[in-house]
């Protein structure tokens, strides 16, 4: 935003008195209009900050409640399994309680590590897909039909490049959406990124070494379709 003086303050001196009054009045109205705009922006910013603060408070309470609930559940589960052997004040029962509690806490920590690893894996896949989509030279290999039996990550790559939904869907549904999309947009088949998927050319047949070419009963060895790219 430019300085107020450059936009709303002018030197009206030297003009007739009426023109000076009118000019200064216009400057004052313009300055008040700017002040109202600034005030509206400030109010909007304050409201947004208050909303974020409220959401942050709710999230903090949820995290605290979740952590407390897990700890209480672990302790209650451990206690229920040792109470049948005696009171918790009994040294043997107390030791059993602490042992079982440690086992449950380790199990919980392993589950949290597994969830964290899964989230990291998802972030890696999303980052790789972003680079793939942004790369104009990226080409999908194999045939479209080969993606019917591809793994979920590979068929997800193709769906993501076409901006089609795939999260939470079965492979069969994702493949059906992809084929319908190509049918609805046949111009995509000639795009270099996807043209290999629809290549009808096949490599020539070749016979295995040492086979008599005049023996018509000998079945020739076939060259298979290009395989899907390996996943990292």
Does 204 fall in a domain?
A: no
Whether 37 and 77 map to the same domain: the answer is yes
Q: How many domains does the chain fold into?
A: 3
In a domain, 186, yes or no: yes
Looking at residue 140, its pLDDT comes to 92
Are 100 and 46 contained in the same domain? no
Please report how many Cα atoms fall inside a 13 Å half-sphere around the Cα of residue 155, on the Cβ side: 24
- Does one domain contain both 94 and 81? no
The tokens of 143 are what? 């045939």
Question: Do residues 63 and 102 both lie within one domain?
Answer: no
Question: Is residue 120 classed exposed, middle or buried when 0-12, 13-18 and 19+ CB atoms within 10 A define those classes?
Answer: exposed
Give the predicted TM-score (pTM) of the model.
0.43
In a shared domain, residues 120 and 152: no
Q: Has residue 230 been placed in a domain?
A: no
Task: Please enumerate in sequence order all residues whose Cβ is within 8 A of that of 12, keeping only pairs 6 or more positions apart, or say none.
Answer: 19, 20, 23, 24
Query: Tokens 């009963």 identify what position?
Result: 217
Q: Do 64 and 115 lie in a common domain?
A: no
Domain-located, residue 158: yes
In this structure, the answer to whether residues 93 and 79 fall within a common structural domain is: no
Q: Are residues 17 and 54 in the same domain?
A: yes
**Residue-range definition of the domain harbouring residue 170:** 144-198
In a domain, 81, yes or no: yes
Q: Is residue 93 part of a domain?
A: yes
Q: Flag whether 203 is in a domain.
A: no
Instruction: Based on the fold, state whether residues 57 and 80 are members of the same structural domain.
Output: yes
Same domain, 76 and 15: yes
How many angstroms separate the Cα of 190 from the Cα of each of 175, 180, 185, 186, 216?
A: 19, 16, 10, 8, 39
81 and 93 together in one domain:
no
Residue 219 lies in a domain: no
Tens-level pLDDT at each residue, the chain (232 residues): 444 445 556 677 777 877 777 877 877 888 787 787 887 777 667 665 665 666 666 666 666 666 555 556 666 666 665 555 455 556 666 677 778 778 888 898 899 999 888 888 888 888 888 888 888 899 998 899 999 998 999 999 999 889 899 888 999 999 999 999 999 999 999 999 999 999 864 444 444 444 444 443 443 333 344 455 555 4
Same domain, 72 and 98: no
Q: In the prediction, which pLDDT does 35 show? A: 80
């Amino acid at each position: 935003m430019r300085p107020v003086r450059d936009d709303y303050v002018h030197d009206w001196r030297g003009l007739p008195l009426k023109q000076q009054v009118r000019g200064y009045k216009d400057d004052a109205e313009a300055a008040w209009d700017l002040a109202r705009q600034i005030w509206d922006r400030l109010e909007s910013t304050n409201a947004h900050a208050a909303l974020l603060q409220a959401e942050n408070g709710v999230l903090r309470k949820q995290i605290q409640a979740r952590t407390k609930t897990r700890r209480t559940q672990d302790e209650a589960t451990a206690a229920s399994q040792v109470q049948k052997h005696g009171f918790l004040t009994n040294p043997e029962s107390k030791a059993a309680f602490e042992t079982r509690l440690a086992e449950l806490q380790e199990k919980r920590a392993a589950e949290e590590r597994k969830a964290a690893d899964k989230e990291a894996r998802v972030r890696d896949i999303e980052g790789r897909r972003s680079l793939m989509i942004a790369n104009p030279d990226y080409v999908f290999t194999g045939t479209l039909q080969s993606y019917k039996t591809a793994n979920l990550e590979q068929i997800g790559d193709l769906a993501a490049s076409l901006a089609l939904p795939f999260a939470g869907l079965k492979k069969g549904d994702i493949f059906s959406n992809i084929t319908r999309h190509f049918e609805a947009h046949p111009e995509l088949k000639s795009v270099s990124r996807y043209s290999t998927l629809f290549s009808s050319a096949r490599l020539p047949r070749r016979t295995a070494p040492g086979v008599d070419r005049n023996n018509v009963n000998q079945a020739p060895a076939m060259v298979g379709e290009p395989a899907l790219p390996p996943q990292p």
